[in-house]
Structure 1
Amino acid sequence: MLSPSSASVVRETLPAVSGALDEITHRFYTTMFAEHPDLLDGLFNRGNQADGSQRRALAGAVAAFAGALLGAPEARPDTLLSRIAHKHAAVGVTEDQYAIVHKYLFGAIGEVLGPAATPEVVAAWDEVYWLMAGALVAQEARLYLEAQVRPGHPWRPWTVVERREETADVVSFLLRTTDDGPLPPALPGQYVSVRVRMPDGVHQLRQYSLSSAPGGELRRITVKRLRGGGRTPDGEVSTLLHETVRAGDELLLSAPFGEVTLADGNGPLVLASAGIGCTPMVGMLEHLAATHSEREVLVLHADRSPATHALRTDMHRLVRELPGGRGEFWYERPGAETPGVHSGLLDVTALDLPAHATAYLCGPLPFMRAVRRQLLAGGLAARNIRYEVFGPDLWTADAADASDAAGAAQPA
């Protein structure tokens, strides 16, 4: 609950603070990493730091949370933070680290706002921060408990049983736990963090969806090699995995996390993906096939060509195995068109969508925004459209969803 006095101050200063958040977060990260370089070892993504996406995500999170508190001062918008809590648990964030972030974030606020950062203003935003931190700590504690791991220690060694070359830029790793302990619980659609030691000795983490059913002794992750261009470097973790990891090697994986999971029930489903966004969808399909589901499932996928479509054989096989399965595929370079295969960009406007379906989206943000608009126009309820975003650009997606929903509600 945000106190009335703080709510008044935050409402008055939100435009100014929001406008300065990019500079504030830039100074915050610069100072914090200078004094705590250990935080870059296995907690923060160096690539996201270098291109500024991490600080923009933090700025967006703070602004969105403050806005939510102003909209409902007596509520604590836990659901707004669910995705961040899962990401934090997947990299081992601990409660004490919120105090470190607070110290450097509010130091940066004072430096950037200068005289405008009066004790009253700082106290009000301090309340916002600790409400946000408290909500995240509570959610993360619950997630660690459910995952049956110690807070901050979600890691476990896994052995690579098999390496499969899916496409020129995509490889799958089939994994088995190195120890004899029980498998950590997983839900279809969840992801794991992979922790690797880079050549310079620094550990880095990346999240990869489980592209297999959550049951069974083996689990699979499917990794696309990220190639840079111009000023953008190659993805350092994906490159390391592609170039060095073979059968028999060990990888350190977190327990599975992620709140975008396949809902139980018998209702119809729409699974829409683009590029490597197919990985959580294949995991969901594997689960549906393994449980002999008779749900109506419409699978939609877009890619550059059949040759670049990772897990294409698996996706087609699983559609055939499901009694209610149907697949439609779009390729920019399709070659010979066949039933269910189209040229160009994914377009659902001509499709017969299942009534009252729940839809899951994964792919680049522009793709998901476009498909979401089409699904809304096709009659799907906004509350039944869920999406998975990888990387730090979480709140941009949420804002786009709100904008799309508002636009869809306007009369033509």
Structure 2
Amino acid sequence: MLSNKTIEIVKSTAPILAERGVEITSYFYKSLFEAYPELLNIFNHANQKQGRQQTALANTVYAAATYIDQLEVLLPAVKQIAHKHRSLNVKKEHYPIVGEYLLKAIKEVLGDAATPDIIEAWGEAYQVIAQVFIDVEEEMYNKAKLEAWEEFKSFKVVKKEKESSVITSFYLEATDGHPAPIYQAGQYITVRLSIPGEEYLLNRQYSLSDSAGKNTLRISVKREAGENIDQNGKVSNYLHDSVNVGDEVEITAPAGDFVLHDEANSPLYLISGGVGITPMLSMLKTVSDNQPDRLVTFIQAAKDGDIQAFGSEVNETIKSMTNAKKYVIFEQPAVSDREENNFDFEGYLDIQKLEQLVIEKDATFYVCGPVAFMGSVIGNLQKLGVQTEHINYEFFGPSIELKQYQEA
């Protein structure tokens, strides 16, 4: 239990953290990895280079300072982060190390402003916050152990299938012969690889793109190009170029809270951009298996028909349902797309198109895709009268604020 004095001091530092949080967390990660380079076997290097991890941690620290006297408000965010930690094999023994270097970063960046009272208060507060994460993650580890497996497990690629010019699916089967675990539509797994020339192990999280109950787990991976090769593509492109049928990869048990949790027969909208279709397809196929009469609207945005993935699979799934329909939006349709008439709208998924497609404002919405896409779609849904609590979305990587991406 934190004292009133500690709570008062921590809450009073919130404005400083809002202003200099990224500076603090950037210093934190730099000094942490210098002292414990082995932790680079856990963290996503691309998110570090892009600054997304630093921003996400700064947002979390700021929120913790703001709600230090009512941490239960943060529990949904804690659970989302805890899923990622469990999937990356972050353990309770890592938390004292993180706390030590976070306090050092606060002292270094704030200088004389970080008085002994402030550092002492934050030390006490960190222990409480860390214990919340540890307790939540312990439950998740126990659940994974009971329903699937602990830590990483070896899986063999039994099928590799090209879905579009940039997306390839990998079908994974446990090397110990055990069946694939049951998971919730929308969850992901962490793939860990040792890539020649890389000093540390590399981890990436990929959504499961099929419904559960199969003998295999399927992930569908986008090939990166341009600057994204260095930022995101080391693992993804290695999977495309060097991992083939018969090869083995290590994965963690399915995780994540971006799941199809609405069991009622209410209307459902599944909206995706680019490779964001992967969890949406898992949800569509799960509804097809269990609620084939449910009213579902599947909206897929892609650059063109060459980039679009799973067109035939979506069509087949939609046809198996009685009240489902799909709409395809191509940003820049090719001549062949026009000849084949394989799309419904041209351009971006803007508010005008959403206004035509979103008939049921009280439906449940799931949105996944690039950050700018999600920011625009979610902002426009809200403008059309959809309540925020009806909108679910998932980031590929650390969560950041969407406001800067939402249309004015």
TM-score (norm 2): 0.91
Task: Give percent identity, aligned residues only.
Answer: 34
| Partners of 2:404 and 2:78 in 1: CA distance | 16
Q: CA deviation at 1:314?
A: 1.3
Q: Give the 5 Å matches for 1:6-85.
A: 6-41=6-41, 43-69=42-68, 73=70, 75=72, 77-85=74-82
Q: Secondary structure at the match of 2:354?
A: coil
Q: State the shift of 1:128 in Å.
A: 3.2
Find the aligned partners of 2:102 and 2:271 in 1 and give their Cα distance: 38
8 Å CA contact 1:85, 1:140 repeated in 2: yes
Q: How does 1:119-130 map to 2 (within 5 A)?
A: 119-130=116-127
1:288/1:74 Cα in 2 relative to 1: closer, same or farther (>3 Å)?
closer
CA change 1:219–1:75 in 2 (3 A) is closer
Contact 2:222–2:236 at 8 Å: present in 1 too? yes
Give the Å deviation of 1:138. Answer: 1.4
Equivalent-residue separation in structure 1 for 2:326 and 2:170 (angstroms): 25
Contact 1:94 1:152 in 2 (8 A): no
Q: Show CA shifts across 1:126-181 (max 9, x none).
A: 23322321221111111112222699942111111110011222110011111133
Residue 239 (structure 1) aligns with: 237
> Could you say what secondary structure the match of 1:30 adopts?
helix
Secondary structure, counterpart of 1:396 in structure 2: coil
Q: Decide whether the 8 Å contact of 2:55 with 2:400 is kept in 1.
A: no
Question: How far is 1:248 from its partner?
Answer: 1.0
Cα root mean square deviation, aligned: 2.5
Q: 1:160, 1:249 within 8 Å by CA — same for their partners in 2?
A: yes
- Structure 2 gaps of 5+ residues are none
Q: Please name the residue that 2:301 is paired with.
A: 302
2:185 aligned partner: 188
- Work out whether residues 208 and 278 of structure 2, in 8 Å CA contact, stay in contact via their aligned partners in 1: yes
Q: 1:283 to 1:84 in 2, by over 3 A?
A: same
Kept after mapping to 1: 8 A contact 2:180/2:216: no
The alpha-carbon distance between structure 1 residues 47 and 10, as it changes in their structure 2 partners (threshold 3 A), is same
Q: 1:320 to 1:150 in 2, by over 3 A?
A: closer
Partner of 1:253: 251
SS at match of 1:349: helix
Aligned-pair CA distance for 1:73: 3.5
Distance 1:162 1:75 in 2: 44
Identify the residue that residue 108 of structure 1 maps to in structure 2. 105
Residue aligned with 2:171, SS = strand
2:167 to 167, 170, 174: 170
Q: C-alpha separation between the residues in 2 aligned to 1:111 and 1:205?
A: 30
The alpha-carbon deviation at position 185 of structure 1 amounts to 3.1
Check if 1:5 corresponds to 2:11: no
> For the Cα contact (< 8 Å) 2:292–2:320, is it kept in 1?
no
Do structure 1's residue 221 and structure 2's residue 212 form an aligned pair? no
Secondary structure of the corresponding residue to residue 271 of structure 1: strand
Is the CA contact (8 Å cut-off) linking 1:94 and 1:151 kept in structure 2? no
Structure 1 unaligned runs (5+)?
408-412
- Of 352, 355, 362, the residue aligned with 1:349 is 355
Q: Distance in 1 between matches of 2:310 and 2:147?
A: 34
CA contact (8 A) 1:267 1:358 kept: yes
Cα distance in 1 for residues equivalent to 2:322 and 2:90:
42
TM-score scaled by structure 1? 0.90
Distance 2:356 2:25 in 1: 45
How far apart, CA to CA, are the structure 1 residues paired with 2:325 and 2:394? 22
**Could you report, residue by residue, the CA deviation over 1:179-208 in whole angstroms, capped at 9, with x for unpaired residues?**
133433311110000000021342110000
Structure 1 residues 148 and 265 mapped into 2: Cα distance closer, same or farther (>3 Å)?
farther
- Equivalent AA in structure 2 for residue 136 of structure 1: F
Q: How many residue pairs were aligned?
A: 399
Alignment match, 1:395: 400
**Residue 94 of structure 1: how far off its partner (Å):** 0.4
Tell me the SS of whatever aligns to 2:163. Answer: strand
The 5 A counterparts of 1:90-109 are: 90-109=87-106
* CA-CA distance at 1:2 after TM superposition: 5.2
Name the residue aligned to 1:205.
203
- 2-side partners of 1:152 and 1:37: how far apart? 27
**Distance across 2 between alignment mates of 1:314 and 1:156:** 29
8 Å CA contact retained: 1:2, 1:73: no
Equivalent residue, structure 1, for 2:114? 117
Match of 1:314, SS state, is: helix
Q: Deviations over 1:287-338 (max 9, x none)?
A: 1222253111011111100110122221222122221111111101233284
